[in-house]
Amino acid sequence: MSIFILFHIIFVSALFLLGFFVYKKYRQTSGIFFLSFCLLFGIWYILYTIIYSVLLGEYYTLHLMRIMYAMSFTAIYSMLFFVLFFNVNKKKTKIIRRCIGLSLFMIFLYVSMTSLFVDHIEYIESKEYYLEVYGPLYKILATLYLAFLPIFFVASYYKIKSLTYINKMRLKYICIGFTLFMIFSLLFLIIFPLFGKFYFIENIIFFITPFIGFTFYSTYTYRFSDVKVKIGSILVFLLSAFWAMVMVNLINYFYSNLGENYAALWGLNSSFGAAEVLLGILFYIPLNKYFSNIFLKNMKGDNFGKRLGRLKKSIPFITNLSDLNSYLGIKLLKYFRINNVEVKIFNKDEKKKSVIYKFFSENTLDDIFLNELVFIEENKHKFNYSLLKNEIDEGVFLVFPIYDNKKGLIGIFTLGKKPFGDLYSNNEINQLKELIVFLEGHLKYIKIYGKINDLTVNLDKKIDEKTMEYNNLINKQKEFISMISHEIKGPIASSIFQADCILDDVGSGDCSKEELTKELTILNEQLLKSGDLINKLFSVQYYDSNSFDLFKEEINLDYLFEGEIEVYKKLHPHIEFRLDIEEEVGFIRIDKVQFKQVIDNLLTNAVKFITHDKGKIHINLCMKNKELIVEIMDNGKGFKHIDISTIFDKYSTGKTSMIGLGMGLYLCKRIVELHGGEIKASTSKELGGAKFEIKIPV
């Protein structure tokens, strides 16, 4: 029994399984036509084998040949209708399907029962098989066979063009495999026989290999398939076996009798000896290893893993993310011709907006993302594809998640496609995942190194900055102490002088009551001025050195501001005070005592810098965006020759007349900030003097 019989059985069985497999996947009309093709062609080939084995008489062989031609014609046109009805709803095509099925059945009966296509057969003794003699209509049948291929090509082209995503890719591969099979079949079954040449007719089943391979490849798997490795292994086996046969026959040719048994090629002869089998095995083993190293070395991922191992050795010396991306991009391009390599770490904003971050965060079982049609089609409910296209480059094919040591998602690792459209194998994907784990550890090292580098490299710079800040602060303190000692020394010296004058006047006895009252009033003013400066100085120290807690309560701001205005109107009748409070401003929860101190300081400063008789102070209160806004403005000197940006600083002095102002404004700022608000100074556009704006959230 020839070894090819075993291959015949395997290929016919694979064809039947393929038909049921596709029918199970596509139970619409297209699946029925595909199953019809596989069954009809498989039975056709079985009948062809029987004919060439000469197991039947002439009468039965003739009828089997007619049935066989009918089957082959019906089979290939069933494949055409598989393409036309691919991915079409079964219910909508029910009537059309029945009409086409009935028509194909009628053609099948007509071809199998008439002598117009196959008239009779003749037995060829030299070849030991029957040869058909064609009838008058055979050329019509041959023409239909030849016309099938361009019709199938045009129908496939427009059908594939109309499909999208997964169906487009699957039908494309099926049509490529079937077209290759039809080209070989037409050559060896139709064209060559017309010229009396009969090559490989009894082994035509082997030409269906591309069709079976492409169909299984497109329907069973689509990403990290090892099908390519398995198909490659089969091809290596056949190639090794072929060259082993060649070597055996060469030895037979040179070292044995040139008889009939040895002159025939081993593969086409049904008989061979044990010595030839042993010799063939001895040749097969090194040939298989040789061809495996040539064709399967990269497919199996062995070389892939070794190069990734070499790549890892230099990574520990990389200390920042930019250099890491450059290194990975150069090496992966050099080793594997892979582009679009990047390690990307998400920041806070990207984590909120990123579609790919959301995909890995919400689908913890998914440890990889594929930027390809089939994966996107089957997982499109997990993400927004329109936003994803803007986030991932078109050249990116694989996206791996990167986690920290607490299993928190921190970034992604992207890779492009392999060259020539090759798919990654499962082994290669596992090796890439090991690389990701290695990178996760190294990214932690980069982060720690960055912090250490920031502390060491920038330490001198930070020390210089802090030293300058400290020196500026010391200088300000010295200047402040000098200024404030001068300010306090003046009132105290005046007070001592005034007290001496009063004592002298009282001792002489010629001092009137009015003069004594005047001198005591001057003394009181000097003491009050000194006390105010000392009180502010201690207040500054108190707010800076204590954890101060506010005593908040519901306060009616109308009463608070109206009471303050009345006091200032009596003290300063030459100044016009105006208070505008919106109706929305009512009770506010604040610290009454501290807030009143802020208002007193600002009003006192406004009064102090109004040196003319037509003074104006305007106060506006309103609510905006859940904030209390207080505006106090005047038509005094304003901030001429004063740096507004430093006016609220603790030791801001300016001129000697500004000492009290500097401390007062610093206290105002601290109290407002304790309320969670802010205070700003500017020039009033309305009155031309100073303007202070306070914002406190309510």
Show the DSSP H helices in 317-364 as ranges: 321-336, 348-353, 355-362
Range of lowest pLDDT (135-139, 245-249, 279-283, 667-671): 135-139
Question: In 3-state terms, the chain is what percent helix, strand and coil (to 5)?
Answer: 65, 10, 20
Give the three-class secondary structure for 589. Answer: strand
Highest mean pLDDT among 116-120, 310-314, 418-422: 310-314
Q: Report yes or no: 325 and 331 within 8 Å, Cβ to Cβ.
A: no
Range of lowest pLDDT (163-172, 358-367, 551-560): 163-172
Residue found by looking up tokens 């810098």 in the block:
609
User: CA 103 to CA 73: how far, in whole Å?
Assistant: 12
Written as six digits, the tokens of 697 are 């959230």
Topology classification of domain 3-220 = Rhopdopsin 7-helix transmembrane proteins (1.20.1070)
Ramachandran region, residue 71 (left: φ > 0; alpha: ψ -120 to 50; beta: rest): alpha
**The CATH classification of domain 467-543, taken from the options 3.90.180.10, 3.40.50.970, 1.25.40.10, 1.10.287.130:** 1.10.287.130
User: CA 64 to CA 50: how far, in whole Å?
Assistant: 9
The pLDDT of 618-633, averaged and rounded, is 91
- What per-residue confidence (pLDDT) applies to 541? 55
The pLDDT of 233-242, averaged and rounded, is 76
Architecture of the domain defined by 302-457: 2-Layer Sandwich (3.30)
Judged against a pLDDT cut of 80, whether residue 147 lies above it is answered with yes
CB atoms near residue 279 (< 10 Å): 16
Judged against a pLDDT cut of 90, whether residue 195 lies above it is answered with no
Range of lowest pLDDT (218-227, 309-318, 331-340): 218-227
- CA distances to 48, 50, 52, 246, 591 from 56, in Å: 12, 8, 10, 35, 114
Residue-wise pLDDT for 99-112, tens only, equals 887 787 787 777 77
CB atoms near residue 367 (< 10 Å): 12
Read off the pLDDT band of 261 (50, 70, 90). Answer: very low
Share of the chain above pLDDT 70, in %: 70
At the top level of CATH, which class does the domain 553-697 belong to? alpha beta
- What per-residue confidence (pLDDT) applies to 631? 93
Judged against a pLDDT cut of 50, whether residue 692 lies above it is answered with yes
Judged against a pLDDT cut of 70, whether residue 477 lies above it is answered with no
Helices 3-25 and 209-220: crossing angle, nearest 10°? 40
- What per-residue confidence (pLDDT) applies to 263? 40
Residue-wise pLDDT for 550-598, tens only, equals 778 888 888 888 888 888 888 788 888 999 988 788 788 888 878 888 8
User: CA 271 to CA 290: how far, in whole Å?
Assistant: 28
Written as six digits, the tokens of 487 are 């300010």
Dihedral sign computed on CA atoms, order 455, 457, 463, 465: negative
Read off the pLDDT band of 7 (50, 70, 90). Answer: low
pTM of the model: 0.40
The rounded mean pLDDT for the chain is: 76
Q: Could you give phi then psi for residue 511, rounded to 5 degrees?
A: -95, 125
CB burial of residue 549 (10 Å; 0-12, 13-18, 19+): exposed
Judged against a pLDDT cut of 70, whether residue 614 lies above it is answered with yes
Range of lowest pLDDT (321-325, 341-345, 651-655, 686-690): 651-655
Residue found by looking up tokens 């802010």 in the block:
678
Read off the pLDDT band of 634 (50, 70, 90). Answer: very high
More confident residue, 453 or 548: 453
- CA distances to 86, 479, 554, 617 from 622, in Å: 72, 39, 17, 17
Judged against a pLDDT cut of 60, whether residue 73 lies above it is answered with yes
All structural domains of the chain with their residue ranges: 3-220, 302-457, 467-543, 553-697
Range of lowest pLDDT (415-429, 500-514, 610-624): 500-514
Which residues sit opposite 345 in a β-bridge?
411
Number of residues that this document lists for the chain: 698
Q: 351-358 — which CB contacts under 8 Å span 24+ positions?
A: 354/391, 355/383, 355/384, 355/387, 355/388, 355/391, 356/383, 356/388, 356/391, 356/392, 356/399, 356/412, 357/409, 357/412, 358/383
User: CA 415 to CA 336: how far, in whole Å?
Assistant: 11
- What per-residue confidence (pLDDT) applies to 630? 93
The pLDDT of 79-96, averaged and rounded, is 76
Show the DSSP H helices in 546-684 as ranges: 557-571, 592-608, 659-674
The pLDDT of 646-667, averaged and rounded, is 61
More confident residue, 586 or 662: 586
Show the DSSP H helices in 114-226 as ranges: 138-162, 165-185, 192-194, 209-220
The pLDDT of 537-551, averaged and rounded, is 60
- What per-residue confidence (pLDDT) applies to 275? 67
- What per-residue confidence (pLDDT) applies to 656? 39
Judged against a pLDDT cut of 90, whether residue 664 lies above it is answered with no
Q: Report yes or no: 174 and 218 within 8 Å, Cβ to Cβ.
A: yes
Range of lowest pLDDT (73-77, 511-515, 668-672): 511-515
Share of the chain above pLDDT 90, in %: 7
- What per-residue confidence (pLDDT) applies to 645? 78
Determine the residue type at 571: L
Q: Report yes or no: 256 and 262 within 8 Å, Cβ to Cβ.
A: yes
Judged against a pLDDT cut of 70, whether residue 341 lies above it is answered with yes
User: CA 128 to CA 198: how far, in whole Å?
Assistant: 13
Measured CA angle at 505 (ends 499, 507), to 5 deg: 100
Judged against a pLDDT cut of 80, whether residue 410 lies above it is answered with yes
